Structure formats: structure tokens, C-alpha cells
Amino acid sequence: MKYALEIGEKLGASQVEVFGANSLSRNVEAEKNEIKIATSKKFRAIGIRVLYNGGIGFSYTATLTKDAVEKSLKEAISVAKLRGKDPYYKSFPSTEKITRVQGIFFRETAEMPLETMVQDLIDMIKITLDYDKRITSVSAGYSVGVSEKYILNSLGIDLEEKYASSSIGVFSVAEESGQMTSGYEFQAERNVEKLDIEKVALTAAEMTIKLLNPRKIETAVMNVLLKPLAVANLLGPTLVRSLRADNVQEKRSFLVGKLGSRIAVDGLTIIDNALLPEGLSSRSFDDEGVASKKIKIIENGILKSYLHNSYTAQRGNVENTGHASRGPLSEPSISPSNLIIEFKEKKEAEKIISETDKGVIANSLIGAHTANPVTGEFSVALGEVFYIESGEIKYPVRQAMIGGNILEILEKINFLGKDKRQIDSVFTGTISFQNVTVSA
């Protein structure tokens, strides 16, 4: 792809950057207790950026012939002309020392045979169905994928990295005296050998059966315990979106002007660590080739840093935190890597439940994506909810909702569970929030 840099410079660009991606994902799905479909998806493309007369241009192509690349470069230059000189952006990133993160590619994942995936799915279905005869229908999925990204630019960046990922999931339905309910569980790992078929199937089955015969509760103020999936559901569309420096600079964030001030309960610390071994969002460098590092986002409730890419860092005149994120078909955006949630009061999740006098515990949030990303207001239904009284889980709850502002609810954290797991970018245990109004 070096020729793209040469052609671009010949066409008059002062700097050129190529971001390429190749991926192959394979997936097997089962529905209603039977294997249904295998899919395989191959994709490759490059995104080309240029700096031309101080303006940023972009274009992409999936055809990688010299002619197609030249055409794409010309399109990028015409976009740069249309945009005009950018007042903030001077240069693409330059080379720096890269620390290679461990555990992001596993041959075992890349070479996982289809036959094994199918047998594992059949086993998962059997384990789930055998758990209880009230379980009537099981769907399950198994995915493995490999991807490779490469970045080259006129300042000498020439990097590539390979990633592997794998995941399994089980969804089961139970029926009893005309009533229906469902439960599920999933696991995602870089290393396919860490997937625990039996545990995932049993967890889904157990959750499903426990959710039978839900009861109504009354609207009241109580403790709300959110399991890791629910925490990730809550933070993704609210806090994470507002941490992006592009949203802050464009005033589309509720964290504008809050750097250095307290935004959450004292004792809450959030670290973004792209170098976490085997982390699902780990990478040695971001999607502009900037070295990954460990960044404190929130420390004891104080907002320490936003998430930057090269554009927002130059505009804000601050150090680039290395959070550029993109596919080849678009310009770089910003996203976190592994967001690690820490809290001063940590306990076993069971202990948090046993110390809860009155509350609910929810596995997920339904409709979290409808939260207001600019103000942090949310109003969501709780998914897979149980009522807790006097330290014991009493019964499943049919309907419950919570609403409010993310910064207000972050003030209400009183415990973090030790049951840590990673969901997308968020690495957390169960979090307990005190005095939350639950509508029912």
C-alpha cells in the first residue's frame, strides 16, 4: 500500500494516510433446539485520508488496484478542497514506540473447526434443555472472527496488528401453565479455549427457570443492583458518549467544562486500559497508529481525562490519549478501549445482596440506547429483575423501570461487586445504587 502514499503526494497532498482492514467472521446459529445456519463473512477495504492545502479529505475503496486507489485519492483531495483549510488540524500522528499488548490473537480461535463449533452448540442446547423440563425452546450461537488492521502514513507510521475474537450465547424459553419467560447468557473471549460451554448453558437455564411466575411490585424508593451487563447498558449511551472529546468540543456532552471536577461519588475510579492482556477492546495502537496507554478517566469521582483522537487532541492542544476508532469506510471517530470500573467498597456480589434490606437486582436494561446522550437523562426498563427483601432474593418482578440522570445515579453507588466481567468496553462487577425510585 506504500504506493498510495507516493501517488497521493504526487497529486499534491502534503500528507497521506491509509487505514486498511481485512476480516473473516464465521458463525453458527441454532434455533428451536436445532442447528440452523452457518454464515461466513469476508470483508476488506481501505480508507484513505489526505491533508491538502490544510484541508482534510477522505474516501474509501474496496477495490485495491492501483487505478482504484488513485481514483480514491483524487476523491479524497476533492473532499479536502470542499472542506477548506481546517483551523486546528496540522498533521496526522507521527511514529512513536509501540508496546505490543499480549493475548489479542490466538491461532486456536482463528482455526476453530466448524465441526467443533457445531458439537459445542449441540452440547449447549442439550445441557440447557436437560436442566428443567419446563424449558421448551433454546436458541444458541457460536462466533469466531479474525481481523487485521494496518495503518501507513506519510510521517512513517507503518503498523499492522491481528486480532481474534470468539463468543457463545444461549437464549432459552420456559413455559409453565400458559406463561412464558426467557433467560440468556453469553461469553466473549479472545481465546476460544476459554469459552465455558457448560457454565454459559447452565447460567441461561437457571436464569430462565428462576424468572417463571413473576410478581408485580409497588412503585417505591429502594436499592437497585445492576449486574455487569446492565452497568454496561447504562454507561454506554450516556457516560461513554459524553467522555468523547469530539462531543465535548462540540458541546454535545454533559461533561463540558467538568474536567477536574467531581462528577461521581468519591471512591469511583474508571481507568481506560487498552493494554489489558486478552481484553476484548485491547490494541497496541489506536486506529490512527497512536500508541496505546493506560489512562485515568475518573479518579475518586474526579473527571481526569476525556477520550481523544489526533483531531480533538490538536484542537484542544492536549496530549492524544489514543482513542481513534474507525472502520475503513469512515473517518476516525472516538471510542474507549477497556473501561475498568473500580470502587473503594468492594464485596462479593452475594454479600451485597445479603446486606440489601429492600431492592431489586437486574441483569440488563431494556431500551438503554434511547437515553439522552447530551444531557445524560435516561428512562429504561429493567431486564431479568428479582426483588430482594431482608438480604434474600424473593421472586422475579414482572415490570420495573428506573429513570433519572446518569450523574445523579453515579452519586448513589455504595458497593461494587467482585463478580467482574467485561461486556463490550466496560469491565465491571455488579454495582449497587442506593435510594433509587423504581416505577412498577
211 in contact with other proteins (CB under 8 A): yes
Grid cell of 19 as nine digits: 487505514
252 in contact with other proteins (CB under 8 A): yes
Of 31, 70, 148, 350, the one binding other proteins (CB under 8 A) is: 31
133 burial level (CB within 10 Å; 0-12, 13-18, 19+)? exposed
Distance CA 211, CA 173 (A): 10
Give one word for 317, left, alpha or beta, with left for phi > 0 and alpha for psi -120 to 50: left
Comparison of 56 and 340: residue with beta carbon closer to other proteins: 56
Comparison of 248 and 295: residue with beta carbon closer to other proteins: 248
* Rounded least distance, CB 155 to other proteins, Å: 22
302 in contact with other proteins (CB under 8 A): no
421 in contact with other proteins (CB under 8 A): no
210 in contact with other proteins (CB under 8 A): no
* Rounded least distance, CB 103 to other proteins, Å: 26
* Rounded least distance, CB 424 to other proteins, Å: 14
Grid cell of 214 as nine digits: 413473576
Of 1, 9, 11, 44, the one binding other proteins (CB under 8 A) is: 44
Comparison of 58 and 343: residue with beta carbon closer to other proteins: 58
Distance CA 290, CA 161 (A): 13
Grid cell of 196 as nine digits: 465455558
Comparison of 54 and 103: residue with beta carbon closer to other proteins: 54
Comparison of 122 and 209: residue with beta carbon closer to other proteins: 122
Per the DSSP assignment, residues forming a β-bridge with 386 are 361, 396
* Rounded least distance, CB 350 to other proteins, Å: 25
Give the per-residue SS3 of 319-380.
Answer: CCCCCEECCCCCCCEECCCCEEEEECCEECHHHHHHCCCEEEEEEEEECHHHCCCCCCEEEE
How many amino acids of this chain bind other proteins (CB under 8 A)? 74
186 in contact with other proteins (CB under 8 A): no
Of 74, 262, 398, 421, the one binding other proteins (CB under 8 A) is: 398
Grid cell of 44 as nine digits: 476488506
